[in-house]
């Protein structure tokens, strides 16, 4: 029987590529998304991968979303925490709301989703959790104290949770991509992106 994989932010950008790669490797994939219904429908039409809508920053929505996936597809064996947003600005200009939005989605979403699947993975003695960090979580980036903090937090979260899962066959890893040509990166102002590339 095919493994069931959930990819958050799985209908666009890096998440879309991960969803397709998992499907091509034989998994039954559930691609989570937060808001763009039109693009999610186009993704499903193009790939045949079912899209599920919930906000990863909302704990109860994550629990309900995983319950729906497991009812329809079976127990979740693989979780890829890919969902992420940016609300860039220097400390002088950054609002508390911009800080909280990024922390709650990018880092809080990892906790919410892992919490929703971890017990089941441990009880079945198998699970794979992959968290998508960022090079900016390691090196920092001007105008991204919120994003860098969240992504750095993902690396610590991953290392700690990996220790909890190891004895029951649940592995937890993180990857830290650099700049990938996605909609999120395209939204970075051109002058800022030029400095980053340089």
Three-class SS of 132-194:
ECCHHHHHCCCCEHHHHHHHHHHHHHHHHHHHHHHHHCEEEEEECCCCCCCHHHHCCCHHHHH
Task: Give the model confidence (pLDDT) of 135-144 as tens digits.
Answer: 886 767 899 9
The predicted structure's pLDDT at residue 89: 94
Position 170 pLDDT exceeds 70: yes
The predicted structure's pLDDT at residue 194: 54
Cα separation, 136 vs 179, whole angstroms: 9
Q: Catalytic positions, please? A: 147
Contacts of 114 (CB under 8 A, 6+ apart): 79, 81, 129, 161, 172
Q: What is the CATH superfamily name and number for domain 4-197?
A: NAD(P)-binding Rossmann-like Domain (3.40.50.720)
Cα separation, 4 vs 29, whole angstroms: 6
Task: Give the model confidence (pLDDT) of 75-125 as tens digits.
Answer: 999 999 999 999 999 999 999 999 999 999 999 999 999 999 999 999 999
Task: Give the model confidence (pLDDT) of 13-61 as tens digits.
Answer: 999 999 999 999 999 999 999 999 999 999 999 999 999 999 999 999 9
H or E element at residue 103: none
Position 182 pLDDT exceeds 70: no
Position 189 pLDDT exceeds 80: no
Cα separation, 165 vs 169, whole angstroms: 6
The predicted structure's pLDDT at residue 51: 98
Chain position carrying tokens 């998304």? 33
Cα separation, 21 vs 13, whole angstroms: 13
């Amino acid at each position: 029987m095919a493994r069931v994989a959930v990819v958050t932010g799985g209908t666009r950008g890096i998440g879309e590529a991960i969803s397709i790669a998992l499907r091509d490797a034989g998994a039954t994939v559930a691609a989570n998304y937060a808001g763009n219904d039109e693009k999610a429908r186009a993704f499903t039409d193009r790939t045949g991968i079912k899209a599920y809508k919930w906000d990863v920053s909302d704990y109860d929505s994550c629990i309900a979303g995983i319950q729906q996936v497991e009812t329809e597809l079976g127990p979740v064996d693989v979780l890829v925490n890919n969902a992420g947003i940016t609300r860039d600005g220097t400390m002088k200009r950054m609002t508390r709301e911009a800080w909280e939005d990024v922390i709650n989605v990018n880092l809080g979403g990892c906790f919410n989703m892992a919490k929703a699947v971890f017990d089941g993975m441990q009880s079945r003695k198998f699970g794979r959790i992959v968290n998508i960090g960022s090079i900016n979580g390691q090196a920092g980036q001007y105008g991204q104290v919120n994003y860098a903090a969240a992504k750095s937090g993902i690396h610590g979260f991953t290392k700690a949770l990996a220790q909890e899962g190891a004895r029951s066959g649940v592995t937890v890893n993180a990857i830290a991509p650099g700049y990938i040509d996605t909609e999120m990166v395209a939204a970075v102002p051109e002058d800022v992106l030029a400095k980053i590339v340089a």
